[in-house]
Chains A and B, each alone.
Chain A
Amino acid sequence: MAELLLKRALTGTGPGAYQAGDVVDVREDGAYWAPSELDDTPFLLVRVAGAPVSDYAALLEPVETTDPETGAPVLTKIRARGLDLSRLPTARSIEAVLAHALSDATVAR
């Protein structure tokens, strides 16, 4: 199982700024996360069952060009890919589905 730490919103500036939905780090299930990384304000932690960390390495790749003078990589975007946070289920939406399932309305289904 992999755990993905996502930036919830843009707070930085310039090409090094994480956009909302950018993956900051990927760790194995059960890895240590500090209290601020578990804070829902700056981050969102997504746990993915049955997938090794290596499956998500591409989500950590930046967009870079090459300095013509030195050959060194030059960052143009800190992450090439990001997640669409609006498409992720939230705890509240799951709770709503569960509540609906437990309600009388679904008994006769």
Chain B
Amino acid sequence: MPTTRLVYVGTDTPAGYDAYYSSPATALAGEQADLDALDRVLRIECGAGVYDRIDVAGYTMDETHRIEIVAAPSAPLAATWATTGVVTIQSTTNYKSAVSVAQQVTASLYLEGLQLSQEAASQSTGMGVVDAYSGATSTYVRIEVARCRLRLRGAATGYVVALNKPSATGALRITDCTLDRPDSTASTARIVYVNSTASGFAIELLSNTLIGGACELLTTGAGSFRGENNLIQLTAPAPAQTWAQVYGTGGITTSHTLSNSAGSAHAGTGDILGATITFTDAASGDYRPVAGSANVDAGADLSADGITTDLLGTARPQGAAWDIGALEYVVTPAPETLAASGTSLATGQAQLTVSKPLTSRGVLQVQGAASLGTRKPLQARGLVSVVGGAQLGGGTLLRAAKAVVVAGVAELAVGKPLVARGGVQLFTSVELHVPKSLAAAQAATLSGTASLFSAAGLDARGVVQLAGHADLLVSVPTRAMGSYAGINHGLVQRGLTRGLLFASR
């Protein structure tokens, strides 16, 4: 079982990581190694920011010993293509993809929760947003892209994802992603391109939304292809058939394709062809379905493939069945019950006061200047994310099955016990007021200038970590089954002895 080396990229230094870098590029340079020999997985978690393109190079990998580049919990994807608050890795140079593994003899790369973009006005054949190109000597390449937004600008050729590894075995797996190329209608403007002559190469496109260009996928060689739950809207007029350029002798399986093409070269069960597709706001990259969309409840159950959420982390399914595409249609909860079964999102100047119990099954996000006040218990089965200048408060019990993340200058104030099974993470300038008890089943982490005030005690079963200028003020009873780290231990001990813990830096 390989060990995971966990590194963080950003301008802050949250606790719990093995190393800290300011960019993905320097992280990859600093961590260069033979991962096979070290029996290691390298996981790079990125805080919000816009980062320059990266070459994943100088490593030895295999399927097990891979590199994972993912968004940190503090930087979840937004409903639209965002300029702040998310992780963006982008290229502005022709011939240089946002993420490239082109120079690797062996490559195993996993990407999740990122915005990946090629912004150059002109693209050349073979280049894209993610590529493993021109490495004819490679022997193994596996690229997995999960819950990412990918966008390729430019009117010429090129691909959103391009693999040209003629002799390599391995796989390309893209799940819960939007792949967007808004500027090109050329017949060579394909979204995904795979050229592999190896019979063992497997391509899977599951639950994606593919937008623009003239062709969704071109494959050549002896590999296999499986496509399910994909929503395809090519630039009008759409080609007569979808999957028209999918070739391969390893087997081709498709189902539940929704396309604006009237026919399919590889028809499958549940296909909806010749469809008119309407999104919430396609111009800003918001490809969420609207009420009545043909893709709603029209997909296959892919839970056996390990897919449980959509692009934004919303649990699947939201209705009677899975939706086709990267995003689930979230039913607006009825005011009386306020049971949000998908992502609960409050942004901008919105104010929501809840006087009934609120249950959120997906991610609960409060962003910008929005506020959410609850007078009854709030139960969140997904991530609770309070970012920007948002406020989440009220005289209520907050019970979160996953992490509670508070970032930016947000405030989280709850008058009743806060129970977070997935840990509590507070970032820069955050204040968390808990007059009652705070129970964290995993680590409680405070960084930057975060402050935690609890008048009734802190019960943390994991490590309590403070970094930077974080403050922690807790009165009895205070218990940590892990340990306190990053603060003056003498102060901690004296505080516990007299029943008061106060630590400042």
Contacts and interface: CB of A to CB of B under 8 A. Distances in A.
Interface string B91-128: 00001000000111100000000000000000011110
Given A13-B59, A16-B58, A72-B126, A67 B26 contact: no
A24 B10 CA distance: 17
Interface string B1-33: 000000101110100000111110111011011
A75 interface: yes
A14 B103 contact: yes
A17 B9 CA distance: 20
Contacts of A5: 26
B164 interface: yes
A24 B25 contact: yes
A73 B33 contact: no
B103 A15 contact: yes
Contacts of B11: 32, 34
Contact of B57 (A7, A11, A14, A71): A14
B60 interface: yes
Interface stretch (A36-44, A49-57, A100-108): A36-44
A70 B133 CA distance: 9
Contact of A37 (B21, B95, B103): B21
Interface residues of A, number: 28
Nearest to B52: A25
B19 A36 contact: yes
A34 B7 CA distance: 11
Interface string B144-175: 00000000000000000000100000000000
Nearest to B36: A13
B1 to A, nearest CB: 23
B134 A15 contact: no
A78 B58 contact: yes
A38 B144 CA distance: 32
B363 to A, nearest CB: 28
B57 A15 contact: yes
**Which one of A15, A36, A42, A70 has the greatest number of beta carbons of chain B within 10 Å?**
A36
A72 B13 contact: no
Contact of B103 (A16, A34, A42): A16
Nearest to B61: A13
Nearest to A27: B22
B75 to A, nearest CB: 16
Interface string A22-35: 00110000001111
Interface residues of B, number: 37
A96 interface: no
A11 B102 contact: no
B125 A70 contact: yes
**Which one of A13, A14, A70 has the greatest number of beta carbons of chain B within 10 Å?**
A13
> At the interface, is chain A mostly helix, strand, loop or mixed?
loop
B34 interface: yes
Interface in A49-97: 67, 70-75, 78
A15 B56 CA distance: 11
A12 B29 CA distance: 9
A103 to B, nearest CB: 39
Contacts of A24: 25-26, 29-30
**Which one of B57, B125, B164 has the greatest number of beta carbons of chain A within 10 Å?**
B57
A73 B34 CA distance: 25
A72 B134 contact: yes
B365 to A, nearest CB: 27
Contacts of B135: 74
A16 B58 CA distance: 4
Given A36-B21, A73-B95, A25 B26 contact: yes
Contact of B58 (A18, A25, A43, A72): A18
B55 A37 contact: no
Contacts of A33: 22
Contacts of B29: 7, 18, 24-25
Contacts of B34: 12-13
B195 to A, nearest CB: 10
A16 B33 contact: no
A12 to B, nearest CB: 3
B99 to A, nearest CB: 13
Contacts of B19: 35-36
A41 to B, nearest CB: 9
A20 to B, nearest CB: 12
A64 to B, nearest CB: 10
B21 A14 contact: no
A13 B103 contact: no
B134 A67 contact: yes
Given A15-B103, A70-B125, A75 B57 contact: yes
Interface string B316-354: 000000000000000000000000000000000000000
Contact of A75 (B10, B20, B102, B124): B102
B234 to A, nearest CB: 24
A70 B56 CA distance: 21
A75 B58 contact: no
A24 B103 CA distance: 17
Given A12-B58, A14-B103, A70-B125, 15 more contacts: A5-B26, A12-B34, A12-B59, A13-B60, A16-B57, A16-B104, A17-B58, A24-B25, A24-B26, A25-B26, A33-B22, A34-B22, A72-B133, A74-B103, A74-B134
Q: Which 3 residue pairs spanning A and B have beta carbons closest together?
A: A16-B57, A12-B58, A12-B32
11 contacts: A7-B29, A11-B32, A12-B58, A25-B23, A25-B25, A25-B29, A35-B20, A37-B30, A71-B125, A72-B124, A78-B103
